[in-house]
Structure 1
Amino acid sequence: MGFVSANQVTIGYTAASREDALHYLSDQAVELGFADDASAVETAFMARENEAETGLVAGFAVPHAKSDVIHTPGVAVLKLVEPVEWPSFDGVPVDVALALYVPAGEAGTTHLRLLSKAAVMLMDAGFRDKVRASTDPVEIAELINSGLED
């Protein structure tokens, strides 16, 4: 059993904006059992977004929320139907978000480990191409788990 399961992967969501995508991911935190308060998770996502861009390269972003309302660390994947404007290193709109949910008490450990592994995965064009091409939540979960376990 890996860190990411198929129910943590959403394919084909239509978001009007980055904020809409983050709202969805905040609701997912509660639905998936990582947190109890979606609006507090959303506040944590936006606080991080206001610090610096979470868009990396080639349409991929790694939004992350650190909060006391998150009791279980987790990851969710959101593939959008159409890219949305999202501040990123290369200025490309985002259509795939790899969201990290981090309990406040694990901010220096779990958070940094997940973030560094996510960044390494997303710098690999082959990995990005596989995730973008797949419409299978199980396959996407397996791809991410293999990267997180390295």
Structure 2
Amino acid sequence: MIISEEQLFLNQQLDTKKEVLTFITEKAAEMGITNNQTQLNEDLWAREKEYATAVQPLIAIPHAKTTAITEAKLLFIRLVTPIDWGSVEGFQVQAIFSILVPAGEASQQHLKILSGVAVSLLEDTFQKQILTIKTEYELMEYLKETLEGELI
């Protein structure tokens, strides 16, 4: 399973992109997704420096393809209030899908996860639901209904 209820983090009070990326690396370490928290953090920042991963208003998809990841996972974080993500477009971000993929699986697995999330994000209903669903359980049930089968 790429995502589970334990990988959904709603109503987080994080005030900067740095806090969000640190949160991602800490949770990845706690869940055994990474074997090198420092390397994962560096790899997430390296990707952000190439181009900010805020893909549209309120949505960001920070991701890393790295040897610091032990298995492909998707984390979801929803912030209490939107934050500046530092994108060229000036997007504020509140919902974050973080894609973490081992370097060896990078091309195929990363693209499968990214395209599954990106296609769903094109739908206004999906955007509204991920920003308003109240509990992790309800969000997980919604994701099971809407995301591609191989992501769940």
Q: Any unmatched runs of 5+ in structure 2? A: none
Quote the residue 1:39 is aligned against.
38
Return closer, same or farther for 1:135/1:7 CA change in 2, 3 Å cut-off. same
Quote the residue 1:5 is aligned against.
4
Structure 1 residue ranges, 4+ long, deviating more than 2 angstroms after superposition: 87-92, 141-146
SS in 2 for 1:3: coil
- Give the paired residue count: 149
Pair 1:148 & 2:148 matched = yes
TM-score (norm 2): 0.90
Amino acid at match of 1:106: E
Pairing of 1:1-150 with structure 2 (within 5 A): 2-88=1-87, 90-145=89-144, 146-149=146-149
Return closer, same or farther for 1:139/1:19 CA change in 2, 3 Å cut-off. same
What CA distance in whole angstroms lies between the structure 2 residues aligned with 1:110 and 1:143? 22
Amino acid at match of 1:32: M
Q: Any unmatched runs of 5+ in structure 1? A: none
Whether the 8 Å contact between 2:9 and 2:136 is mirrored in structure 1 is: yes
Post-superposition CA distance 1:41-94 (Å, at most 9, x none): 111110110111211113011100111010100011111111111144753200
